Amino acid sequence: MSEITLKNICKQYDDEHYAVKDFNLDIHDKEFVIFVGPSGCGKSTTLRMIAGLEDISDGELWIDDELCNYLEPRDRGMSMVFQNYALYPNMTVYDNMAYALKIRKMPKAEIDEKVHQAAKTLEIEHLLKRRPGALSGGQKQRVAIGSAIVRKPKAFLMDEPLSNLDAKLRAQMRIELSKLHRELGTTIIYVTHDQTEAMTLGTRIVVMKDGIVQQVAEPQKLYNNPANLFVAGFVGSPSMNFCDCYVEREGDRCTLRLGSRDSERKIYLDGVKAGMLNMFHADEQVTLGIRPEDIYEYEEAAAGGFEKNTIGMVKKVETREMLGAEVALYFEEQGSTFGARLKPENNTQVGEEVALYFDPDKIYVFDKITEENIFYKEGM
């Protein structure tokens, strides 16, 4: 059992700048929590504060109802995997894995059993006598994870453990980590800048930017209900398209005009969404977001019954990527690149024009100034 609670955790290196500001999170037992964000967003710093490698400038860190702000790293009962693996170069793989146990003065027979068990789980038994210098990147990674799992820590802390591996190995290790989490049943806190890793591994994701938590949610909720423009753009691959549009009130309905106030490219909304826009943002400029997979051709729009609610935008294709199961078309809209993922039958070539329809149920609207998601559902 382990509960980790972070209360208003802050990290300051000087008087003005916060590396991490007001970080609040309850991490429950057996969770796989991911800290994700671009470089410099404070995700690693937060992890290192939990490990005890960085001082906490302000706030409280509770581990199992014990205040741990001033506890030495060795007394926090964590086990950590580093980005560069941090294997002791002068020790064999066996000694690397046994180090933490030896220090704790565990009996030799027990150490031996645990190391072999962990090595078996990770399929590195044949490497035990080697030194880290004689291992490949993927093998080092396994040894680093092995060194962490020989103990029964309160939580595993992983700092971008897969970022030094090649794409194929990374995908493979991702699946294994997921399996490992189920088998071990231990809390994992995992830092990454890769949203794919975050979405596939995490049971809960913390999205950070500039030291501030943007949103904490399960992967599916994060994808469907992003709190703001940043989260919407960060989660999902390829990322969400954004463009400016104007809100025009038409009785109960609401029209979004793309680009300018008198644009003929329109999307009609009704129901609750229209009501919210009419009430708070009538005649204002807002940011519209739509995922590439929610853009369709006429036939599909007609099949989905929303072709009347959206005026197709006719666009000249700039780049075409045939991906097999689908085709990605890229075009320019208000100075930025828009992407659409269409059925592979679409045969539009570069330079040709294509009419595209946005699914009105799947559009997101963000406040121009605060960048908040106007349709964000609290607590969903």
Interface contacts to other proteins, rule CB under 8 A: 51-53, 72-74, 76, 78-80, 82-84, 86, 88-91, 99-100, 103-104, 133, 147, 157
SS (H, E, C) 320-379: EEECCCCEEEEEEECCEEEEEEECCCCCCCCCCEEEEEECHHHCEEEECCCCEECCCCCC
CB of 21 to other proteins, least distance (A): 24
Minimum separation from the CB atom of position 19 to other proteins (A):
17
Closer residue to other proteins, CB minimum distance, 15 or 72: 72
Task: Say if CB 374 and CB 277 are below 8 A apart.
Answer: yes
Least CB distance from residue 258 to other proteins, whole Å?
Answer: 49
Q: How many CB atoms lie within 10 A of CB 242?
A: 18
174-179: which pairs have CB atoms within 8 A and are 24 or more residues apart? 174/200, 174/201, 177/145, 177/201, 178/32
- Pick the closer one to other proteins by CB: 80 or 356: 80
Shortest distance in whole angstroms from residue 152 CB to other proteins? 13
Q: Taking CA 109 as the corner, what is the angle to CA 106 and CA 110, rounded to the nearest 5 degrees?
A: 50
Q: Which is nearer to other proteins, 86 or 374 (CB)?
A: 86
Pick 87 or 232: Cβ nearer other proteins: 87
Q: For residues 88 and 280, which CB has a smaller minimum distance to other proteins in the complex?
A: 88
CB-nearer residue toward other proteins: 5 or 79: 79
- Alpha-carbon distances of 135 from 39, 124, 128, 173, rounded to whole Å: 28, 11, 11, 16
Nearest approach, Cβ of residue 202 and other proteins (Å): 22
Pairing outcome for strands 32-36 and 187-192: parallel
Nearest distance from C-beta of residue 141 to other proteins, angstroms:
14
Query: What is the β-pairing status of strands 353-358 and 313-316?
Result: antiparallel
User: How many angstroms separate the CA atoms of 265 and 20, rounded?
Assistant: 42
